[in-house]
Structures are given as structure tokens and as C-alpha cells.
Amino acid sequence: MGNRTHTEVSVARQSPQRPDADEPELDDTDASAAADEVEVDRPAADRALWDEVRIDPVEIALPAGTGFTLRAYRPARELTPTDVAERDQDDPFLARRQVVETEDDDEVVILDEEFAALSAEEDDEDGKPDGERRRGKADADTDPDAADTAAEAEAEDDDEADEDDDAAGDEEVPVFLTHKGRLLLFKTPESLVTFIRSGAPNDLSQLDSWNELSERLEPADVAPLDEDTYELDLVVENLRGGHDAWDPALLIEAGEVARDLAYALRLPAVLDMLSAGSSLDDLDEALRASVNGGVGGFLGRRRLKKIGAQTASLGWRTIVGKISAVVDWRD
């Protein structure tokens, strides 16, 4: 992956070092034994632990540094969301936020003003409604037939409400190692394991497998898979490089973890910026299409050319900033 600095560091760490001239060389038997010892350090059972507890170690790189945390997926009905009351009281950016009420007047979506304005300009250029992202309501006063249709639709919605609630409760949602609305990131596997064994309060402790993990986890087990390693610190720079420099894998993976973090940390602004129909969601879909072969890949690359690099980089700068603002770094 182009300009993936963390990957390069990882490869450098794995590169063998030549022994000094005055150091004794290992014979074939010793070398074989050494290789066996290396394999023992990372046995397959290490991964089996994560599979048993259904929790995964995750590594996230942000502008302030790289840290380890944990993530799990569980049915929504089994989870108590993180408490953000204390976090939001201390939020220094509240005064700069634009609050937009939804149609029901009881849900608030927080938008970044600069990004929203730039996205609206692009919508106007594309011939789309200015900033329109929500479904419109029929005007019952001017269209009686529409009023009847709306009433029938509302009745059907009421009949299906219980079924929708059940489906929502069964849907698996992400939960991270968080506490009071903040993501806990640890700079070393040792510090992560020490925290877990300490019994300190956190949102993952509500999982039924948490006690087993805290009893069995060792620092050597904290080795995230490639698909659980995210480099959010490289996203904005990559987008600023222009369409030809965009790294689809980097950007797609960033979108996946950003959505998970936004849900788990209750960040409505980030969820809205990545929601279906948004400019960043259009970018994500075009990137996914571009990596495919054939006509789909060709059309995806054409769509990417129409996406504004300035809007994309500004939007992701905002997302990374909002996520970084709710991180609790632990040594």
C-alpha cells in the first residue's frame, strides 16, 4: 500500500539482523531449535483465545500516535451504550457546532459547518437538492390524495414497529474498550493487559466473556490481524495527494473503523458525515467499485474523478479530529 509508513516499520522490525563477526554462529541444530522457539512464542492457541471470547485486539494510528484497544460485536439488545454525559459537558467545540433538528424535532444531528457548506456547493454543481439528505413529507393541505396515502403508510408503519424493534435489537453492533464516552488507547500491549487485569471500569466489562479474557490474556496475545489495523493518520494526507494517489484499501478500511467508532462512541456528527447519500459515502462506494475489474471498476474510477479532493480531505480531517478528541491515551 503506497506510503504506508506503519507497514514499513513493521517490516523493518521483522527483518533479520546479521550477527557480529565475534559472535558464535549457530549450527543447523541450534538454528532449528531457535526457529522452534520463535514459533512457540506465537502459537495458534493465541488466536483461539480471541475466537473463544469473541473480542478482537485492534490497532489504531492517529495523528497523536498509535495505540491498542479492543473491539467486539454483539446484538444491540445485549449492550448498554457508553455514557457520554460527562464527555459532552467538557466538549470545547460545542460553541462552533451547527445543530440541525430533524423532522420529528426530537433527534439532533450535529454537522461541521465548513464541511457542510462545501458539500452543499458540490450538490448545487451536480444538480442535487441543496444539502438534502432526508426524506420529504407530502403536503396534505395541497394534495388530499397524498394525505390519504400518508395516513395508510403511517398505519403500516405502526403495525411493523414491533417487528422493526426486534430486528434492531438483534442487529450486531460494535462496542470498543471505552469508558464514559472515551476510547481507551494503550501504547503498548503490556499496558493494555495491565489495565484489563486491574478490574478498572469500562464498557466491555458488560460482556459475558470479559472475565475469561481478563484471566487468560497475556501481552503476547495482543497481536491484531491485518484487517484490524487502521491508519487514520494517513487518510488526510493521502486524499490531499489527488485522485491518482488515492489508496482504496487505506480509505475503505478507515471508513469501516470510523463508522464503528462513531456508533460505539456516540458521535452523531461523524455518523452523519458517513451516512448513506453523503459525499464521503459516495467516495466509499466509488472506491469499492474501483477495485473491481471489468465495467464496474471502470465506472467506479470515473465516479472518483468527479469527487472533490478538497471536500474529501476536509471531511476526513474533521472525522479524524472528532475521533481524536474523544481518545483517552494510556501508557
DSSP letter string over 158-198?
HHHHHHHHHHHHHSEEEEESEETTEEEEESSHHHHHHHHHH
pLDDT in tens, 3-28: 444 444 333 334 334 344 444 444 44
Q: DSSP class of residue 223? A: -
Would you say residue 8 lies in a domain? Answer: no
In the predicted model, is pLDDT for residue 321 greater than 90?
yes
What single DSSP character describes residue 278? S
What's the pLDDT at 78? 95
pLDDT reported for residue 80: 96
- State the pLDDT at residue 297: 86
CB proximity list for 30: less than 8 A, separation 6 or greater:
none
Determine, yes or no, domain membership for 217. Answer: yes
Give dist(CA 7, CA 15) in Å, integer.
Answer: 12
Q: Tell me the per-residue pLDDT of 224-242, one tens digit each, with 9 for 90 and over.
A: 999 999 999 999 999 999 9
Reference 72, options 181, 178, 188, 200; nearest CA is 178
Name the more confident of 36 and 191. 191
Contacts 24+ apart (CB under 8 A), 193-197: 193/217, 193/218, 193/219, 193/222, 195/330
Do the domain assignments include residue 53?
Answer: yes
Among 107, 57, 100, 101, smallest CA distance to 226 is for 57
> Would you say 331 and 189 are in contact if contact means Cβ atoms under 8 Å apart?
no
Supply the range of the domain harboring residue 308. Answer: 45-132+170-330
Instruction: Give the pLDDT of residue 3.
Output: 45
Binned at pLDDT 50, 70 and 90, residue 161 comes out as low
Residue 182, pLDDT above cutoff 50: yes
Number of domains in the chain: 1
Q: Is residue 262 part of a domain?
A: yes
What mean pLDDT is predicted for residues 38-53? 68
In a domain, 98, yes or no: yes
- Which residue(s) pair with 57 in the sheet? 70
The reported pLDDT for the residue numbered 26 is 44
pLDDT of residue 121: 61
**pLDDT tens across 108-157, in order?**
344 466 666 666 665 555 554 444 433 333 344 445 455 556 656 665 66
The percentage of residues in the chain with a pLDDT greater than 70, rounded to a whole number, is 62
- Residue for grid cell 474501483: 290
| 71-102 residues labelled b (16+ CB within 10 A) or e (exposed) | bbebeeeebeebebeebeeeeeeeeeeeeeee
SS3 of residue 111 by DSSP: strand
User: Is residue 294, in this structure, part of any structural domain at all?
Assistant: yes
Predicted structure pTM score: 0.69
Determine the Cα–Cα distance for residues 213 and 62; give it in Å rounded to an integer: 26
Asked, for residue 32, whether it belongs to a domain, the answer is: no
Asked if residue 123 belongs to a domain, the reply is: yes
State percent of the chain over pLDDT 90.
55
Convert the pLDDT of each residue in 54-99 to its tens digit: 999 999 999 999 999 999 999 999 999 999 999 988 765 544 444 4
